[in-house]
Amino acid sequence: MKKYVCKICKHVYDPAVGDPDSGIAPGTAFEDLPDDWTCPLCGVGKEDFEEE
């Protein structure tokens, strides 16, 4: 599964890690993140992420 990078703050979403603080389990692909998921570092939406 591909990693995605936030264009604003460069935070990397790693599917292997997920985003447990936001209730996203490890193993969740970026595409499967909810539409209202936001960057845990800077708060922007999925639309501001790109493939690493």
Partner 1 sequence: MNNARKISEDLYWVGSSDRRLNLFENIMPVPQGVSYNAYLLKDEKNVLIDTSDNSVSEQFFENLYSLVGDNEKLDYIIVNHVEPDHSSLLCRTAYEYPEAKIICSAQAQKMILQFFDCIATERFITVKEGDKMSFGKHEFTFCTAPMVHWPEVIVSYDITTKTLFSADAFGTFKALNGNLFADEVNFDRDWLDEARRYYTNIVGKYGTQVQNLLKKASMLEINMICPLHGPIWRENIGYFVDKYDKWSRYEAEDDTILIIYGSLYGHTESAANIVASRLAEAGQKNIAMYDASVTHPSYLLSEAFRCRRIVILSSTYNAEIYTPVKIFIDEMKSHNLQNRVFAVAENGTWAPTAGKQMREMLAFNNNVITDTTLTIKSALNESQKDSVDKFVNEILNK
Q: Which one, 17 or 44, has the nearer CB to partner 1?
A: 44
Residue 21 CB, shortest distance to partner 1, in Å, is 9
Chain residues binding partner 1 by CB under 8 A are 8-9, 11, 41-44
Q: Which one, 34 or 45, has the nearer CB to partner 1?
A: 45
Q: What is the DSSP string of 1-52?
A: ---EEETTT--EE-TTT-BGGGTBPTT--GGGS-TT-B-TTT--BGGGEEE-
Tokens of 22: 């936001």
Q: Which one, 8 or 12, has the nearer CB to partner 1?
A: 8
